[in-house]
Amino acid sequence: MSVKVTIDGIAIDVEPGTSILNAARQIGGDIVPPAMCYYSKLKDSGGKCRTCLVKVSKGSEKDPRPMPKLVASCRTAVMDGMEVQNITSPEVIEARKGIVEILLLNHPLDCPICDQAGECDLQNLGFEHGAAKTRYEFDRRTFEKIDIGDKIQLHMTRCILCYRCVFTADQITDHRIHGILNRGDHSEISTYIHAAVDNDFSGNVIDVCPVGALTDKTFRFKNRVWFTKPVDAHRDCDHVNCNGKVTLWYKGEEVLRVTARKDQYGEVEEFICNTCRFDKKKTSDWVIEGPRKISNKSVINSNHYDFIPLPVVKTNPVLMEANKEQFERDTRL
């Protein structure tokens, strides 16, 4: 039993209950909506950032009426016969542009000193969909700096309130110390009292953070990610929930940073424990598997792009028209 959904003119059969976003990810390519808060490995995530909004032009075979508003593709399940427009809808493109502007509204744009730069979802989103200038003429929001321990660095000004780290603490670790405090645009990630976010799996909040709000303190200001070389490695970790499969980030002979392995959507393949992440920074701790493949679009791959064929774009004239700019950029590469 599967249901058929058409996204930007491309049809696919998926399991019932699949979200539009995940159906799009099964198709792949440019028609996949960007997602800043949804995280497939975290239950209840998604729906908040609104970057993945799409237009449902036909609800289903049974009820073909279009949905009245744009919907969050990460939290809307497909129906049989549903037709969705993402990059073929000017309305969606316009709304997404607005969301990007809004996400960047109070963002400090301190990329030059941010450790996340180069692997930042917000940076990529801004590059793909944003405008060169903001229309916001007021002081950007600031927060009182707080220290959440010697492992994790919190920069609240960069946070987009995706709630991923909260879900991670709830679902992956045994105890949650931080949370969302206050309301509205004063909301902040905090521990309220001076407490360190520290337990076996707490480091995973770094990997799930789409921006530079939570970064690895042990890697702080050590290097730019695009100067480091990612290598897959594993070790025999004795933590019951950790398989010890990681990516080591080398500068010369030195391991500067350890992260979980991330897929093409920036999601970790498996969560790792804090011992693997923070305490094992010698090559001798690890069994090296080989270089980590990083998307050819990533700045981390600068100067050594792999050519990846363009699976979707060439076969879909509607899409080519709608996505001319992207198509040209891809072709140039």
Partner 1 sequence: MARKLLLEHINVPGINTFDVYRSKGGYAAVEKALKTLTPEEVVEEVKKSGLRGRGGAGFPTGMKWSFLAKPEGVARYLVCNADESEPGTFKDRYLMTYIPHLLIEGMIVSSFALGAKVSYIYVRGEMMPQIRILEKAIAEAKNAGFLGKNILGTGYDLELYVQPGGGAYICGEETALLESLEGKRGNPRIKPPFPAIAGLYGCPTVVNNVESIAAVVPIINDGGEEYAKIGIGRSTGTKLISAGGNVKKPGVYEIDLGLPVEEFLYSDEYCGGIANGKRLKAVVAGGSSVPILPANLFFKTINNEPRLMSYESLADGGFVSGTMMGSGGFIAYDEDQCIVRNTWNFTRFYHHESCGQCSPCREGTGWMEKVLHRLEHGHGKLSDMDLLVDVSKKIEGNTICPLGDAAAWPVASAIRHFRDEFEWHVTNGAEAVTRNYGLAHYADPLPKKEEPVA
Partner 2 sequence: MLRVEETQTPVTFSPELIAKFDDIVSRYPAGKQKSALLPILHLVQAEFGWLSTSAMDKVAEYLKIQDIEVYEVASFYSMYFLKPQGKYVLEVCRTGPCEIVGAGKIMDYIEQKLGVKEGEVTADGLFSWRGVECLAACGYAPVLQIGPEYTFYENLTNSSVDTLIADLKAKAKN
- From residue 67 to residue 106, the character string flagging contacts with partner 1 as x (rule: CB under 8 A) and all else as - is --xx-x--x-x-----------------x--xx-xxx-xx
Q: By CB under 8 A, is residue 42 in contact with partner 1? A: no
- Smallest gap from Cβ 163 to partner 2, in A, equals 11
- Smallest gap from Cβ 68 to partner 1, in A, equals 8
Q: Which is nearer to partner 1, 47 or 81 (CB)?
A: 47
Contacts for 282 with CB less than 8 Å, ≥ 6 apart: 255
Q: By CB under 8 A, is residue 142 in contact with partner 1? A: no
Judged by beta carbon distances under 5 to 8 A according to partner kind, the member of partner 1, partner 2, none in contact with residue 143 is: partner 2
Q: Which is nearer to partner 1, 109 or 180 (CB)?
A: 180
Q: Which of 50, 222, 224, 229 binds partner 1 (CB under 8 A)?
A: 50
Judged by beta carbon distances under 5 to 8 A according to partner kind, the member of partner 2, partner 1, none in contact with residue 320 is: none
- Smallest gap from Cβ 145 to partner 2, in A, equals 8
Q: By CB under 8 A, is residue 319 in contact with partner 1? A: no
Judged by beta carbon distances under 5 to 8 A according to partner kind, the member of partner 1, partner 2, none in contact with residue 219 is: none
User: How many of the other CB atoms lie within 10 Å of CB of 287?
Assistant: 11
**Spatial separation of the C-alpha atoms in residues 206 and 208, rounded to whole Å:** 6
Q: By CB under 8 A, is residue 133 in contact with partner 1? A: no
Residues that bind partner 1 (CB under 8 A): 46-50, 53, 69-70, 72, 75, 77, 95, 98-99, 101-103, 105-106, 135-136, 138, 160-161, 163, 180, 182-187
